[in-house]
């Protein structure tokens, strides 16, 4: 793998329980994003429904946020990327309904929306396979802050990834970034200033955007007294 694409986070945590492991073996292959050997991913072939638009969540953690959005917006197609496999298994349980009703079931429950495709790895491996302007929303929520200066190049919002996020957003699309680390919020502002091609849409950074669904990390942070900082960026026209 290209050293630029080295992933520094965790791939696995504690042992995944038997029912979630079964979801990983049986449900994941059904909804895992497959990369074409050539050409771009055909978004209109990914789902059994006609999707109105596509949204991308990068680093979905336990997947609660994306699973909730997928239920709220059944006509939107979602791609979620997360290399931490315990998080992927948690998303599958949310999609399947088994986080609330543990049972030995591996298919999507009858009637459940099937509008999520999962990339259980580094999102940067998918970028070359995605067409320009394919997403209406991209979420980068509570990215790992990598607070030490010597790890700054590991921060996801950087000059390697911003051009790709810019390319992938539709002309009317929005990039959502949230953090509760003041230093990371400053970093985002600096990176955006250097990149120049995004404008900030929201004026009040501590007011959650409309219809906001908090992530698990966000909820834990609020309970611990941390203040979320929200950025909504749109593309400046070229
Ligand atoms: C601090 S966690 C936040 C998780 C979730 N967004 C939340 O708010 O609960 C950051 C997540 O980003 C994931 N991540 C980091 N780099 C990534 C990458 N290049 N592609 C996809 N996910 C990534 C990590 O594995 C981790 O689960």
52: CATH = 3.40.50.150
Domains identified in the chain, total number: 1
Residue 3: inside a domain = no
Q: Pick the range with the lowest mean pLDDT from 61-70, 75-84, 109-118, 140-149.
A: 109-118
pTM of the model: 0.94
Q: What is the mean pLDDT of residues 207-223?
A: 95
CA of 177 to the centre of ligand 1 (A): 12
- CB-neighbour burial class of residue 190 (10 A; exposed 0-12, middle 13-18, buried 19+): exposed
Tell me, in angstroms, the distance from the centre of ligand 1 to residue 61's CA: 5
Structure confidence by residue, pLDDT tens digits, 41-67: 999 999 988 999 999 999 999 999 999
Residue 159 covered by a domain: yes
Substitution site in 1, 33, 56, 59 for ligand 1 pocket (most atoms within 8 Å of beta carbon): 59
Residues 6+ apart with CB under 8 A from 5: 122, 124, 125
Which range marks the domain in which residue 26 is found? Answer: 19-34+42-235
pLDDT digits (tens, 9 = 90+) for 129-178: 999 999 999 999 999 999 999 999 999 999 999 999 999 999 999 999 99
pLDDT score for 5: 80
Distance CA 48, CA 123 (A): 23
Kindly report the number of other CB atoms within 10 A of residue 81's CB atom: 22
Please report whether residue 7 resides in a domain.
no
Could you count the other beta carbons within 10 Å of the beta carbon of residue 130? 20
**Catalytic entry in 2, 121, 122, 144:** 144
Mark whether 104 is an active-site residue: no
Has residue 111 got a pLDDT over 80?
Answer: no
Residue nearest to atom 13 of ligand 1 (CA): 59
Residue 9 belongs to some domain of the structure: no
Atom of ligand 1 nearest to the CA of 7: 19
Identify whether 209 is part of a domain.
yes
């Amino acid at each position: 793998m290209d050293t630029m694409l080295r992933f520094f986070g965790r791939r696995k945590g504690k042992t995944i329980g038997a029912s979630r492991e079964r979801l990983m073996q049986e449900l994941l292959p059904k909804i895992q994003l497959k990369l074409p050997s050539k050409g771009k991913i055909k978004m209109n072939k990914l789902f059994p429904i006609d999707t109105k638009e596509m949204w991308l969540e990068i680093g979905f953690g336990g997947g609660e946020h994306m699973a909730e959005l997928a239920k709220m917006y059944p006509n939107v197609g979602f791609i979620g990327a997360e290399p931490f496999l315990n998080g992927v298994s948690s998303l599958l349980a949310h999609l399947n309904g088994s986080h609330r009703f543990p049972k030995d079931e591996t298919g999507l429950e009858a009637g459940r929306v099937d509008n999520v495709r999962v990339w259980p790895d580094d999102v940067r491996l998918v970028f070359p396979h995605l067409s320009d302007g394919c997403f209406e929303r991209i979420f980068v929520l509570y990215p790992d802050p990598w607070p030490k200066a010597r790890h700054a190049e590991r921060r996801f919002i950087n000059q390697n990834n911003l051009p790709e996020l810019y390319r992938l957003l539709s002309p009317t699309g929005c990039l959502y970034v949230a953090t509760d680390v003041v230093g990371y919020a400053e970093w985002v502002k600096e990176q955006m200033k250097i990149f120049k091609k995004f404008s900030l849409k929201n004026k009040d950074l501590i007011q959650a955007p409309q219809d906001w669904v908090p992530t698990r990390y966000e909820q834990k942070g609020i309970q611990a007294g941390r203040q979320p900082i929200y950025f909504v960026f749109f593309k400046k026209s070229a």
